[in-house]
Amino acid sequence: MSFAKSRLQERYVAEVRPALLQERGFTNVNQVPRIVKVVINVGVGEGRDKPQALEAVTATIGTIAGQRALITKARKSISNFKLREGMKIGAMVTLRGHVMWHFLDKLMNVVLPRVRDFQGVSVKNFDGYGNYNLGLKDQLVFPEIVFDEIQFLKGMQITIVTTATNNVDGAHLLAQLGMPFNDFETVAKVA
């Protein structure tokens, strides 16, 4: 099955990769950072008491991502949280390839501007290895979600995994792709 490249993927190949090659001083096109995968994770604390909450969140995440969500289970027991090993506590999706590029295009150009009082995302959310973490308070900012059909409002964590070896290269990659950073000047000073 063959899929058309998304416009963001075409932009990466045609514009972003050559610009980063020249701007960041890489000697080989394979050294230029690229996006490997996007992971969407939602914790459902009340999933242990209300199985319908976990089912609803899994369906919602599947709708947002365009593929089926995986139910995550607790790795160990924590008595303070009334959590036992093996309990179903969340849902996650890992996006790669064309689905990842389409999701990123939608995230940067449709979803983030719909966030209430949006001032841009912080460049401080990198993990030190070029991967970016973004938290959203609810799933209503996605255009696929119908407000009346949502039973449980849940926040989500979106992790963009890159091949960049440091935060500066990762920030330059995402900024070139169109991530709306509110404080990108701090990265430019570091570079």
Using one digit for the tens of pLDDT, what is the confidence trace for 133-177?
Answer: 999 888 788 888 777 677 777 788 999 999 998 888 999 999 999
* Neighbouring residues of 125: CB distance < 8 A, sequence distance ≥ 6: 132, 133, 134
Quickly state the pLDDT bin for 83 (edges 50, 70, 90): low
> How much is the pLDDT for 94?
95
Q: What pTM, to 2 d.p., does this model score?
A: 0.86
Distance in angstroms (rounded) separating the CA atoms of residues 61 and 92: 8
Domains and CATH numbers, the chain: 7-190 (3.30.1440.10)
> How much is the pLDDT for 154?
78
